[in-house]
């Protein structure tokens, strides 16, 4: 049985905690009064994402690679969390390299994260009888199909396991299989969040991530490059909505299977680019760019199962863009020197 409710202040582990989604999750958990252990190796995460958290007495950062064996209780800086006595109540497993422009550089790490990394984290969950959530992805459904772009959790995706990006796409499918197998064999309390495209402050820059690159270029009056082509369509959810959904999935009393988290609104990316130009008062123009292997037109989520948990994306696209633009403006000098 999970120890989730056994302690007033839970010990919670977040792998990939210095990443875009992970750092926002760490902040949210700390606001809720938990003790947070953030693990990252900075392959695609950033130290600056967690700088403001380092002074919090309930936060500890451990730099390690989850693809290698590790023993949390050997880290002296975790002594205050009393792991031998209290253990860990929850694990959010988000560690997996995600890079558009540099995808090839991380292929082996991605492969290992979706296999060995899962194994070491699942074994940790088994040791502490912790409830564990996998940060899965919309890629498990494959590219959007003709007819309707919407997919529900019960639908079977079509993924070519031999493509140049299969280490991520098929890797996420295998990750879900590993988690489900540990549930069946070891009675682990698992949760699976299938996260669709998300945007907001702290997204990686200069990596083909469309929203932050659009904003930074618009602020500089540079061309907005449409990687993927002018016809590219996608869904976009703001980071705070996604964090709320992830926590709701973790806290759900019953496990009914994977849950889609994302917007079910289909957006032409060129319209988003034009909105950013308008919001920034920029003189930038939109131009075509190369198509990266990691950037593909994915399905949109049916979110009925998430709605049953009381979740619905609340932040309007324009409001999310405004908040992201303000963050980029406030940090523009620092960001431009990355």
User: How confident is the model over 65-108, as pLDDT tens digits?
Assistant: 999 999 999 999 999 999 999 999 999 999 998 877 788 889 99
- Average pLDDT across the chain, whole number: 91
pLDDT, residue 183, reads 98
Which entry of 168, 182, 227, 238 is annotated as an active-site residue?
168
pLDDT of 329 strictly over 90: no
CA 128 from chain center: how many Å?
24
Tell me the Cα Rg of the chain: 19
Higher pLDDT, 332 or 217: 217
Domain architecture of the chain: domains with CATH: 11-198+237-261 (3.40.50.720), 200-234+265-296+314-330 (3.90.25.10)
pLDDT, residue 107, reads 93
State which H helix or E strand residue 244 sits in: helix 239-251
Reported as a pLDDT band with limits 50, 70 and 90, residue 1 is: very low
pLDDT of 187 strictly over 90: yes
Asked if residues 87 and 128 have their Cβ atoms less than 8 Å apart, the reply is yes
The Cα-based distances of 21 to 96, 98, 142, 172, 288 in angstroms read 12, 11, 22, 17, 28
Alpha-carbon gap, residue 328 to 135, rounded angstroms: 26
Q: What is the mean pLDDT of residues 114-121?
A: 97
Dump the DSSP string for 42-61. -SS--GGGGGGGTT-TTEEE
Alpha-carbon gap, residue 244 to 62, rounded angstroms: 24
Reported as a pLDDT band with limits 50, 70 and 90, residue 233 is: confident
Q: What is the mean pLDDT of residues 146-150?
A: 76
| Helix/strand/coil for 335 | helix
Supply the angle between the helices 118-128 and 166-186 in degrees, to the nearest 10. Answer: 20
| Helix/strand/coil for 283 | coil
What the block records as the tokens of 306 is 């998430």
pLDDT, residue 292, reads 61
pLDDT, residue 156, reads 86
Reported as a pLDDT band with limits 50, 70 and 90, residue 109 is: very high
Alpha-carbon gap, residue 177 to 159, rounded angstroms: 15
Higher pLDDT, 204 or 326: 326
User: How confident is the model over 293-324, as pLDDT tens digits?
Assistant: 556 677 899 999 999 999 999 999 999 999 99
Tell me the whole-structure pTM to 2 decimals: 0.93
Let me know if 119 is a catalytic residue: no
């Amino acid at each position: 049985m999970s120890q989730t409710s056994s302690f007033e202040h839970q010990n919670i582990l977040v792998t990939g905690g210095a990443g875009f989604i992970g750092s926002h999750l760490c902040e949210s958990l700390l606001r809720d009064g938990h003790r947070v252990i953030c693990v990252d190796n900075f392959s695609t995460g950033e130290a600056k994402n967690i700088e403001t958290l380092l002074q919090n007495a309930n936060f500890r950062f451990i730099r390690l690679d989850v693809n290698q064996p590790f023993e949390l209780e050997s880290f002296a800086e975790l002594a205050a969390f009393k792991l031998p006595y209290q253990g860990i109540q929850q694990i959010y497993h988000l560690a997996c390299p995600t890079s558009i422009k540099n995808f090839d550089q991380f292929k082996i790490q991605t492969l290992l994260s979706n296999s060995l990394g899962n194994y070491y984290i699942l074994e940790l969950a088994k040791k502490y009888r912790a409830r564990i959530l996998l940060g899965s992805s919309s890629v498990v459904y494959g590219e959007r199909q003709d007819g309707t772009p919407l997919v529900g959790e019960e639908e079977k995706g079509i993924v070519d396991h031999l493509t140049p990006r299969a280490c991520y796409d098929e890797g996420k499918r295998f990750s879900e299989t590993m988690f489900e197998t540990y549930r069946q064999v070891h009675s682990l309390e698992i949760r699976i969040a299938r996260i669709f495209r998300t945007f907001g402050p702290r997204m990686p820059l200069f990596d083909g991530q469309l929203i932050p690159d659009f904003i930074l270029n618009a602020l500089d009056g540079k061309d907005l490059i449409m990687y993927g082509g002018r016809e590219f369509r996608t869904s976009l959810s703001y980071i705070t909505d996604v964090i709320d959904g992830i926590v709701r999935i973790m806290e759900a009393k019953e496990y009914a299977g994977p849950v889609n988290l994302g917007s079910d609104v289909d957006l032409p990316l060129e319209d988003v680019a034009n909105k950013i130009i308008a919001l920034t008062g920029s003189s930038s123009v939109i131009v075509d760019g190369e198509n990266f292997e990691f950037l593909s037109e994915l399905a949109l989520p049916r979110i009925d199962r998430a709605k049953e948990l009381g979740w619905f994306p609340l932040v309007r696209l324009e409001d999310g863009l405004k908040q992201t633009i303000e963050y980029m403006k406030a940090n523009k000098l620092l960001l431009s020197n990355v």
